[in-house]
Amino acid sequence: MIPAPFAYARPTTVEEALQAIADGGEDVKVLAGGQSLIPVMRLRLAAPETVVDLTRVEGLRGVREEGDQLVVGAMTTHADVLTDPLLARYGQLVVQATETVADRQVRRRGTFGGALAHADPAGDLPAVALALDAEFVIAGSGGRRTVAAADFFVDYLTTVLEEGELLVEIRLPKLGEDWGVRYEKFNRVAQAWSIVAVAAAVRREGGRIAEARIGLTNMGPTPLRASATEAALVGVDVSMETVTAAAAQAAEGTSPSNDLNAQADYRQHLAQVLTRRAVAAAAGL
């Protein structure tokens, strides 16, 4: 398991990183935590000409508050996420999902931004970012641009990031105490990817659901929203009956894959069951 030879750059600023990517030749890979990139390089499924390692870049790690948003640096590790006080208060959905990512060693190196830019539909964080309508701040040679989560994920392992660009931070809405959240993950062994998972955030007003945001993990080539279920939940009384009825629509518009862990029809069934469970838990049932 030895990677093919590659050139290596370890910049210390975003500007240097962008330059290193520009200078890196035909096939440049950005190494954030390396928890997906290094295995495929070792298997020689990827053989980049240059690897640009972001681990020494200043200012990309950590979480800060800006108005009603949390700004998470792209190089914030999963372990950082789990111990961050702002996320503990306003970002419980991110925290819950991050707790399920792989194992302790991977969480120590793997990064929030790396996982999102990798855009593995079986990864846990893309669906969470989509459910929360996160904003992705992207740096390029011409400056910075901000992209909505709905536009960020384009296809299987493909995002709106262009060659020569870097994801530098992710802006998340602060969810207040009127929100309940739940990340419901279904897999066979603890460290495995999700077969299906559901990220749910529910805002209650009295005995009714005012707003529901539901992201689906691994139900298609990109993370998806369970839009029909979200719509069906708005304004309904909080009860198992209403949640169950709405969750029955969770698989609408999904196109999950057939693979070793599950065939598509079973994944669609799971999406309904897990959505019901996630929404019920988020709604306090």
Partner 1 sequence: MTAVEDPAAPVDAPAKEVGQARRRKEDARLITGRTTWTDNMVLPGMLHLAVLRSPVAHGRITHLDVSAAKERGGVVAVYTGRDLAEEQGSLPCAWPVTPDMVNPGHPSIAVDQVNHVGEAVAIVVARSRTAAADALEAIDVDYEPLPVVLDMEQAVQDGSPLVHDSTSSNTSYHFVFDAGEAGTGADTDGAFADAEVTVSRRFVQQRLIPAFMEPRSVVVQPSGDSYTMWSATQIPHILRVMAAMVTGIPEHKLRVIAPDVGGGFGGKLQVNPEEILCLLIARRLGKPVKWTETRSESLMTAHHGRDQVQFIDIAADRDGTVRGLRVRLLADMGAYLRLITPGVPALGAFMFPGIYKFPAYRFECDGVFTNKVPTDAYRGAGRPEATFAIERIMDELAVELDMDPLELRRKNWIGAEEFPFTTVAGLEYDSGDYHQATEQALQLIGYDELRAEQRRRRESGDPVQLGIGFSTFTEMCGLAPSRVLGSLAFGAGGWEQASIRMLPTGKVEVVTGSTPHGQGHETAWSQIVADQLGVPFEDVEVLHGDTAISSRGLDTYGSRSLVVGGTAVVKAAEKVVQKARVIAAHLLEASEDDLEFTGGKFTVRGTPGAGVGIQEVALAIFAAHDYPEGIEPSIDAEATFDPENFSFPHGTHICAMEVDTETGFVKIRKYACVDDVGTIVNPLIVEGQVHGGLAQGIAQALYEEAIYDADGNLTTGSFVDYLVPAASDLPHFDTGNTVHAATSNPLGAKGVGEAGCIASTPAVVNAALDAVRHLGVSDIRMPLTPERVWRAVHQGGDGGDRAAAGSNAQGASAAEAAAASTDPSSNGSHL
Contact residues for partner 1, defined by CB under 8 A:
1-2, 4-5, 36-37, 39-40, 43-47, 103, 118, 120-123, 156-157, 186, 188-193, 195, 218, 257-263, 266, 269-270, 273-274
Q: How far is the CB of 134 from partner 1 (least distance, A)?
A: 21
The vertex-128 CA angle with 125 and 132, nearest 5°, equals 140
At its nearest, how many Å lie between partner 1 and the CB of residue 219?
A: 11
- Minimum separation from the CB atom of position 81 to partner 1 (A): 20
To the nearest 10 degrees (0 to 180), the angle between helices 264-282 and 240-247 is 150
Considering the complex, state which of residue 96 and residue 137 has its C-beta at the smaller distance from partner 1: 96
The DSSP-derived string for 27-45 is: -EEEESS-TTHHHHHHTTS
Instruction: In angstroms, give the least distance from the CB of 201 to partner 1.
Output: 22
Return the number of the residue (48 or 180) whose C-beta is nearest partner 1. Answer: 48
Closer to partner 1 by CB, 203 or 276: give it: 276
Q: Where are the alpha helices (DSSP H) in the chain?
A: 14-23, 37-42, 78-83, 85-90, 92-99, 104-109, 112-118, 125-131, 149-152, 227-233, 240-247, 264-282
Looking at the Cβ atoms of 172 and 262, the one nearer to partner 1 is 262
